[in-house]
């Protein structure tokens, strides 16, 4: 590694000053409740319950009629404000509970708020029952049910994928599109308030997609089913079509509050405006600096232009972070202040600390992951931490590949929070490559063919049916050879089949990294470029990134067999892990994307991959000139970069006590700089080091370990307990080979300047 030390500044920066937020001053009870004798009892009762509100929070809680924006910085007590304002309306303003609507985005958040409201002083159980504290979907589904909608809900994403696959086959597009791609695109159109008729159909691909959408809608109507987007779309249509229903809803819900307002999409916002149109009592709470869901339809302009939509709106800025220490809060301030399209605010902290965010610069993502995993183990074994104290955050699934493997190899319990079937090796560009390698090892491995056939531009269903028919009558030839007799094949397709057979025979003796390169150079990159419908599943740049990371992973192995075995074992371990409970009390590290981490907090956070082309992602850096799917949102480079910077800010502000930021020096086989977001956070830097830092002396030690006897396997497991040391035998967790006791030399990372 270039350098395995933890530093107080990022690699390339020497600065006499490190970011640190100002401490928030303590406010007296008189300051907190000044100006409202009639409500003093309420705030005093809150105080007795251990709930103290600062002046900005108190202003928001006291708000009566009219629109209001609570601009809530990270960790600033937004939920407390929404809960206490609800209590204030009930206990002080004597508003009937049935007139109050509080909407949020997750069932968990809604349940937590209702529980906290119930615990407030002076709030009766009857009032809590009458309150409407719901998610957007729950609230509007209740509306639909009340209007006679009795369709069955489609609650499984996997089931929706199956239906779309069937519709693709019916339309003759089997294998041409990924179901999750079409569903995501369709959802994006609908949440931007576009009807099916209004969706674009300007080129053959859009016409095909629109045709699949029509088939999906026809299926839902025929089967009498609704998906989650239908809830909002049908509710909106109802409110538009029935003035009587809209008026009834407006008269009932006279006080409307919206949580996480920055995450609302245009359709949700439009419905909130409709419900509050007669009284304008719309209270919204959110943070423009945490708008990171543009791919789901969220638009930062909605929260930024709230006062333009409602010129009489009042506002309070919640600028005290109660979650993070002053150094962590200060780093967040310095990172996000470089965004220009935002409401200016500088957060203060209530937690003074001498523990500063630390940075590390490993050579590769694999070395970065090794260092982070070893540090987690050290803290658990020596610092009294539990595994549940830790979160490892990453920008993309590709970056998490190395961390996933290291946590597994170190036998560290962890929960991976990713999209369904989106473990790195399960991503569709990877599966096709891996199945080619499996077919190279065993040309009769039919299970690999469904991913191989589309790359030969052969219909998956027809090809597999042809092979099965021939094998059923005793044909013994290899499947790719059998396919050459498939009816309707053109001469060039037969030639491609023969070329692919020859290529697979060449791949088997090669080193896996060279085998993957060979496939990409020979046909796969060209196939991806030609197959625009497939590549739209993720940015084209993202597809290349994923394949480059696959090459990096394969580079650790000497044979195709060893690599494929390793991947297969990892996939099986992933399946097993997904079956584990994700209960709150599970003592396990959380491995998740930054997007999934939003709204959560952890004592210790590792942000991995804080390097250029990872965070900010290469697709954002190149957004202004690319033709990628990202352009469907008309994102300029500046807009895309600002969302990436907000992602970095969200990652930073998940940490309560300790924050570690890794910036690998190489990614996708190329040298990469430390993320600009963290270099910008040090405006007082006196020197930028462009050469690698002078190698620090490494402390090494010999540890007892179980070593895999399979020479193709890289696994070893440190002996940590007396029980482990007394075992007579052990099986490798990856390749299942026998392990034997031995010794391993390990590097201990040096910690410098962690405190001052």
The mean per-residue pLDDT over the stretch 97-111 comes to 94
Give me the mean pLDDT over the 513-525 stretch: 94
Give the pLDDT mean for 583-612: 89
Query: pLDDT at residue 740 above 50?
Result: yes
**The pair of three-digit structure tokens given for residue 102, joined into one six-digit string:** 């509080």
% of the chain beyond a pLDDT of 90: 63
- Do 177 and 212 meet the contact criterion of CB atoms below 8 Å apart? yes
How high is the pLDDT of residue 557?
Answer: 93
Give the C-alpha separation, 688 to 37, whole Å: 57
75 is in an annotated binding site: yes
Any bridge partners for residue 666, and if so which? 671
For residue 640, say whether it is annotated as part of any ligand binding site: no
Predicted confidence at residue 234, as pLDDT, reads 97
Secondary structure, 3-state, 679-721: HCCCCCCCECCCCCCCCCCCEEEEEEEEEECCCCCCCEEECCC
The band of 735, judged by pLDDT with boundaries at 50, 70 and 90, is: low
User: Among the listed ranges 1-10, 69-78, 298-307, 570-579, which one has the minimum average pLDDT value?
Assistant: 1-10
> What is the band of 749 on the pLDDT scale with cuts at 50, 70, 90?
very low
Secondary-structure breakdown of the chain: helix, strand, coil percentages, each rounded to the nearest 5: 50, 15, 35
Please give the average per-residue pLDDT across 163-189, as a whole number: 87
pLDDT in tens, 679-693: 999 987 765 554 443
Same fold, 22-148+234-333 and 358-413+587-687: yes
- pLDDT recorded at residue 713: 66
Structure tokens at 589: 């590290």
Task: Summarize pLDDT for 112-166 with one digit per residue, the tens.
Answer: 999 999 999 989 999 999 999 999 999 999 999 999 999 999 988 889 988 998 9
Distance, CA of 81 to CA of 53 (rounded, Å): 8
CA distance 506 to 516: 12
- pLDDT of residue 730 exceeding 90, the answer is no
Cα–Cα distance, 286 to 288 (Å, whole number): 7
pLDDT band at 569 (very low <50, low <70, confident <90, very high): confident
Of 227-231, 429-433, 681-685, 729-733, least confident by mean pLDDT is: 729-733
For the chain, the first-to-last Cα distance in angstroms comes to 26
* 576 carries a ligand binding annotation: no
Average pLDDT, integer, range 558-577: 86
Say yes or no to pLDDT of 625 above 50: no
Q: Identify the pLDDT of residue 532.
A: 54
Work out the mean pLDDT of the chain and round it to a whole number.
87
Per-residue pLDDT at 437 exceeds 90: yes
Q: What would the 3-class secondary structure string for 415-431 be?
A: EEECCCCCCHHHCHHHH
Residues 323-358 pLDDT 10s = 999 999 999 999 999 999 999 999 999 999 999 999
Neighbours of 143 (CB within 10 A): 17
Contact 404, 423 (CB under 8 A): yes
pLDDT band at residue 422, thresholds of 50, 70 and 90?
Answer: low
Mean pLDDT of 22-45: 74
CATH no. for 358-413+587-687: 3.40.50.300
Q: Which among 734, 741, 740 is positioned nearest to 709, based on CA atoms? A: 740
Higher pLDDT residue, 416 or 135? 135
Is cis: bond before 40, omega within 30 of 0?
A: no
**pLDDT band at 698, cuts 50/70/90?**
very low
- At residue 252, does pLDDT exceed 70? yes
Neighbour-count burial of 384, counting CB atoms closer than 10 A to its CB (0-12 exposed, 13-18 middle, 19+ buried): exposed
Burial of 148 (0-12, 13-18, 19+ CB in 10 A): exposed
More confident residue, 746 or 8: 8
- Give the mean model confidence (pLDDT) for residues 473-494: 90
Report d(CA 132, CA 213) in Å as an integer: 34
Q: How far apart (Å, rounded) are the C-alpha atoms in residues 61 and 599? A: 21
76 annotated ligand-binding residue: yes
What is the model's pLDDT at position 387?
A: 94
What's the pLDDT at 741? 84
Residue 175, annotated as binding a ligand: no
* C-alpha to C-alpha distance for 328 and 605, rounded to whole angstroms: 11
Return the pLDDT at 639. 86
Q: Was 78 annotated as part of a binding site?
A: yes
CATH number of 22-148+234-333: 3.40.50.300
- For residue 405, give both structure tokens: 């493997």
Report the percentage of the chain scoring pLDDT > 70.
87
pLDDT score of 246 more than 80: yes
Of 92-96, 290-294, 363-367, the poorest mean pLDDT is in 290-294
What pLDDT digit, counting tens, does each position of 386-401 carry? 999 999 999 988 888 9
Q: Which residue has the higher pLDDT, 479 or 571?
A: 479
Confidence at 630, pLDDT banded by 50, 70, 90: very low
Q: Taking the domains of the chain in order of start, what are their residue ranges?
A: 22-148+234-333, 154-223, 358-413+587-687, 425-566, 700-747
Rounded to 5 degrees, what angle do the CA atoms 731, 735, 740 make? 40
Instruction: Indicate the pairing of strand 738-748 with strand 730-731.
Output: antiparallel
User: Hey, what are 605's tokens?
Assistant: 């956070």
This prediction has a pTM of 0.84
What SS3 class is residue 555? Answer: coil
pLDDT class of 628 with cuts at 50, 70, 90:
very low
What is the per-residue pLDDT for 415? Answer: 86
Paired with 299 in beta bridges are none
The CATH code belonging to domain 425-566 is 1.10.486.10
């Amino acid at each position: 590694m270039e350098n395995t030390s933890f530093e107080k500044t990022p690699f390339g920066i020497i600065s006499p000053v490190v970011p640190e937020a100002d401490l928030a001053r303590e406010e007296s009870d008189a300051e907190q409740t000044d100006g409202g004798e009639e409500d003093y009892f309420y705030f005093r009762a809150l105080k007795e319950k251990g709930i103290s509100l600062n002046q900005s929070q108190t202003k928001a809680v006291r708000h009566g009629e009219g629109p209001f924006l609570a601009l809530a910085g990270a960790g600033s007590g937004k939920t407390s404000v929404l809960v206490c304002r609800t209590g204030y309306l009930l206990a002080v303003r004597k508003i009937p509970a049935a007139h109050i609507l509080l909407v949020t985005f997750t069932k968990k958040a809604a349940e937590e708020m209702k529980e906290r409201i119930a615990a407030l002083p002076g709030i009766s159980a009857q009032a809590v029952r009458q309150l409407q504290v719901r998610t957007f979907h729950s609230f509007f589904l209740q509306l639909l049910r009340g209007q006679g909608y009795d369709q069955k809900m489609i609650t499984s994403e996997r089931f929706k994928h199956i239906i779309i696959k069937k519709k693709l086959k019916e339309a003759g597009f089997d294998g041409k599109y990924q179901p999750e791609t079409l569903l995501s695109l369709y959802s994006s159109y609908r949440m931007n308030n576009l009807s099916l008729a209004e969706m674009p159909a300007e080129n053959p691909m859009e016409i095909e997609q629109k045709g699949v959408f029509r088939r999906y809608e026809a299926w839902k109507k025929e089967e009498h089913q609704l998906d989650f987007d239908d809830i909002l779309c049908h509710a909106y249509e109802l409110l538009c079509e029935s003035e009587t229903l809209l008026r009834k809803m407006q008269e009932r819900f006279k006080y409307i509050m919206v949580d996480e307002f920055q995450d609302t999409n245009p359709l949700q916002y439009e419905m909130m405006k409709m419900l509050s149109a007669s009284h304008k009592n719309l209270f919204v709470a959110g943070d423009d600096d945490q708008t990171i869901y543009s791919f789901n339809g969220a638009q930062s302009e909605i929260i930024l232009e709230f006062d333009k939509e409602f010129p009489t709106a009042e506002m309070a800025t919640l600028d005290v972070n109660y979650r993070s220490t002053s150094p962590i809060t200060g780093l967040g301030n310095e990172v996000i202040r470089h965004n220009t399209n935002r409401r200016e605010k500088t957060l203060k902290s209530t937690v003074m600390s001498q523990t500063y965010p630390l940075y590390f610069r490993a050579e590769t993502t694999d070395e970065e992951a090794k260092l982070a995993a070893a540090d987690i183990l050290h803290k658990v074994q020596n610092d009294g931490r539990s595994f549940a104290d830790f979160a490892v955050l990453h920008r993309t699934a590709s970056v998490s590949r190395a961390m996933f493997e290291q946590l597994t190899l170190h036998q560290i319990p962890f929960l991976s929070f990713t999209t369904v079937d989106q473990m790195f090796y399960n991503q569709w560009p990877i599966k096709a490559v891996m199945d080619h390698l499996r077919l190279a090892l065993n040309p009769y491995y039919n299970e690999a063919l469904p991913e191989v056939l589309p790359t030969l531009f052969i219909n998956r269903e027809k090809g597999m049916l042809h092979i099965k028919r021939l094998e059923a009558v005793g044909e013994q030839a290899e499947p790719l050879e059998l396919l050459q007799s498939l009816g309707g094949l053109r001469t060039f397709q037969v030639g491609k089949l023969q070329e692919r057979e020859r290529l697979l025979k060449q791949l088997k003796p090669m080193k896996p990294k060279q085998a993957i390169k060979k496939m990409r150079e020979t046909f796969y990159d060209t196939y991806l470029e030609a197959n625009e419908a497939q590549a739209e599943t993720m940015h084209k740049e993202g597809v290349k990134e994923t394949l480059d990371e696959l090459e990096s992973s394969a580079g650790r192995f000497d044979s195709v067999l060893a690599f494929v075995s390793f991947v297969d074992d990892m996939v099986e371990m992933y399946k097993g892990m997904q079956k584990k409970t994700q209960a709150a009390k599970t003592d396990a590290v959380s491995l998740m994307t930054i997007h999934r981490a939003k709204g959560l907090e952890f004592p210790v956070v590792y942000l991995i991959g804080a390097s250029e082309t990872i965070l900010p992602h290469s697709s954002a850096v190149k957004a202004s000139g690319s033709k990628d799917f990202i352009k469907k949102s008309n994102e300029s480079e500046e807009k895309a970069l600002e969302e990436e910077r907000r992602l970095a800010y969200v990652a930073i502000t998940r940490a309560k006590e300790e924050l570690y930021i890794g910036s690998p020096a190489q990614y996708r086989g190329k040298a990469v700089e430390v993320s600009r977001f963290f270099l910008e956070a040090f405006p007082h830097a006196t020197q930028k080091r462009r050469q690698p830092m002078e190698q620090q002396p490494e402390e090494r030690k010999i540890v007892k370990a179980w070593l895999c006897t399979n020479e193709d396997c890289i696994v070893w497991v440190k002996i940590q307990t007396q029980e482990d040391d007394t075992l007579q035998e052990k099986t490798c967790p990856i390749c299942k080979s026998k392990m034997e006791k031995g010794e391993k030399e390990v590097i201990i990372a040096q910690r410098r300047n962690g405190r001052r």
